Structure 1
Amino acid sequence: MKILRYRYRNRVEWGIWKDEGIQPVRGDLFGSLEEQGEVLSPSRVEYMSPLRPNKLIAIGRNYVDHAKEMGNAVPEEPMMFLVSPTAVIGSGEAIHLPNRIDSIEFEAELAVVIGEEGRNIPAGRASEHILGYTCGIDVSNRVLQKKDGQFTRAKSFDTFKPLGPMIETDMDSSDRWIRLKVNGEIRQDGRTSDMVHSVPALVEAISHVFPLERGDVILTGTPAGVGRLFPGDQVEMEIEGIGTLSHRVEG
């Protein structure tokens, strides 16, 4: 099932993606959803981010080729850090570059949405705590990343964390292709099977540090091919079985 959040006639609603269009629903994202009203054409709605994360947890250097292109060693354990959930935007919204001449780069990532709270979760039971998966773009200010020696400021600017367009709740995420295009040119093309630390391993590692809660989102790292963004660029990012994020870059 694909769940999305959208704006229609100045109201923000939940919906389920169907072949014939968007079926409005009511209820709880983490509970039951009940269909209501007429099916809407996707062209009639404005996509929102599927949720505003409770915590936004990112993982660095989780693909060998990306670690190499950045000149970094592959960490033996997951390298986790937090970024501000206020950076999240939905598909179709603009990515705004700060008013400074820095190197702003894109990273295409599989995002994991947590559906059930847990501490010390074994990898073998990780799926019990996952609501589903969505697409994420981790926009990063490389100058500040190097200057600070940590990632929070560099990755938390407003609009730096596109998520969406929907949450896929019934998907095996272990071997899906991830692709990102800039102005129609493929810049990243990888597979989730190339992760150093799998999704279950990440859930286990994170939940042994702090509890995972409903609405938390884990950005699982990016494959090789990251590069700069410039005003006027059009970015499209897709994960097999989920959908496509589309964003214009503005200065």
Structure 2
Amino acid sequence: MYYGIVEDDEILQLSSTFTEIANNELKYDGVTVKYSDVKILEPVAPSKVVNFGWTYAEHAKETGGKANLKEPFLFLKPASSLIPNQGEIILPSSDLTSQVEMEGEVALVIGKRGKNIKEEALDYVFGCTIFNDVTARDLTKADPQFTRGKGFDTFGPLGPCIVKGIDPTNLRIVTTLNGKVVQEGNTNQMSLSIPFLISWISQVMTLEPGDVLATGSPSGSCPMRSGDFVSVEVENIGRLCNYVK
């Protein structure tokens, strides 16, 4: 497994670790491969995936949450939930859940260690990628906390790549299910700002290079069935596409 820099249809293979890459220590090992000739994995291996819930007022209302919170609703996803672009979302047994939904989101990838961040919070962001916060909605409504409903294997599609140098506070998000638009929004509609979220969570836990912060989903989340194809597109980043099985 390698990190790499995508240039058109090719990848410049790196021998660097993610921390080295975040420190701009790019060790190109002289190998260039075609994008189509390799298997693309999740673009980072985080120590934790932090999810901020109900950051969009309309999504909070449609899922039974509270809109316009002064602080986000917080939960974590296990690393075992992560799958890459083109990976399969595997539905749990019907005796466990009967209502699995998508939530298209912008995700931040942290580039440097941070604790009690006060100002210049965006300086801690290495780049942006796309996240699909797959959710067993019937379980999140029934359980006192979200771990079970959010934590199944394959419930964390992430990718396809990390893009540097873009402003995460003004990005359009469009989620489609079998080609039909079901979610559409922009990070500028969030009731809590992204710099605030970074600062807020850093008061709770130390952020490490490679950590993923999923910033929440616009309204329109709906059930997925076996055979469905879900795509989350974020401007300036790309498309995260997954089949449901």
Using the size of structure 2 for normalisation, the TM-score is: 0.93
Instruction: Say yes or no: does 1:183 pair with 2:187.
Output: no
Q: Is the 8 A contact 1:52 1:88 kept in 2?
A: no
- How far the C-alpha of 1:34 sits from its partner, in A, is 2.2
Please give the per-residue CA displacement for 1:186-208, whole angstroms capped at 9, x wherever unaligned. Answer: 11111111111121110111011
Counterpart CA distance in 1 for 2:158 and 2:74 is: 19
Q: CA RMSD in A?
A: 1.3
Instruction: Say yes or no: does 1:114 pair with 2:103.
Output: no
Counterpart CA distance in 2 for 1:249 and 1:78 is: 29
Instruction: Say yes or no: does 1:33 pair with 2:29.
Output: no
Question: What letter corresponds to residue 26 of structure 1 in structure 2?
Answer: S
SS in 2 for 1:48: coil
Instruction: Say yes or no: does 1:138 pair with 2:127.
Output: no
Counterpart CA distance in 2 for 1:215 and 1:38 is: 24
Question: What letter corresponds to residue 92 of structure 2 in structure 1?
Answer: P
User: 1:47 — aligned with what?
Assistant: 40
- How far the C-alpha of 1:35 sits from its partner, in A, is 2.2
- How far the C-alpha of 1:149 sits from its partner, in A, is 1.9
Counterpart CA distance in 2 for 1:71 and 1:185 is: 24
User: 1:159 — aligned with what?
Assistant: 154
Question: What letter corresponds to residue 88 of structure 1 in structure 2?
Answer: L
Please give the per-residue CA displacement for 1:168-225, whole angstroms capped at 9, x wherever unaligned. Answer: 1211111111111111111111111111112111011101112112221111100011
SS in 1 for 2:128: strand
1:61 aligned to which of 54, 57, 61: 54
- How far the C-alpha of 1:127 sits from its partner, in A, is 2.0
User: 2:124 — aligned with what?
Assistant: 129
- How far the C-alpha of 1:40 sits from its partner, in A, is 2.4
Counterpart CA distance in 2 for 1:218 and 1:143 is: 24
Q: Of Structure 1 and Structure 2, which has the larger fraction of its residues in strand? A: 1
SS in 2 for 1:150: coil
1:228 aligned to which of 204, 208, 223: 223
1:21 aligned to which of 6, 10, 16: 10
Question: What letter corresponds to residue 7 of structure 2 in structure 1?
Answer: K
2:65 aligned to which of 42, 66, 72: 72
Count of matched residue pairs: 238
- How far the C-alpha of 1:247 sits from its partner, in A, is 0.7
Question: What letter corresponds to residue 154 of structure 1 in structure 2?
Answer: G
- How far the C-alpha of 1:26 sits from its partner, in A, is 1.8
1:89 aligned to which of 78, 83, 86: 83
SS in 2 for 1:102: coil
1:230–1:201 CA distance, 2 compared to 1 (3 A): same
Matches within 5 A, 1:187-226: 187-226=182-221
Which is worse superposed, 100-109 or 16-25?
Answer: 16-25
Counterpart CA distance in 2 for 1:23 and 1:245 is: 21
Which is worse superposed, 23-32 or 164-173?
Answer: 23-32
SS in 1 for 2:47: coil
Counterpart CA distance in 2 for 1:78 and 1:160 is: 21
Counterpart CA distance in 2 for 1:20 and 1:149 is: 46
Q: Is the 8 A contact 2:70 2:192 kept in 1?
A: no
Counterpart CA distance in 1 for 2:150 and 2:32 is: 37
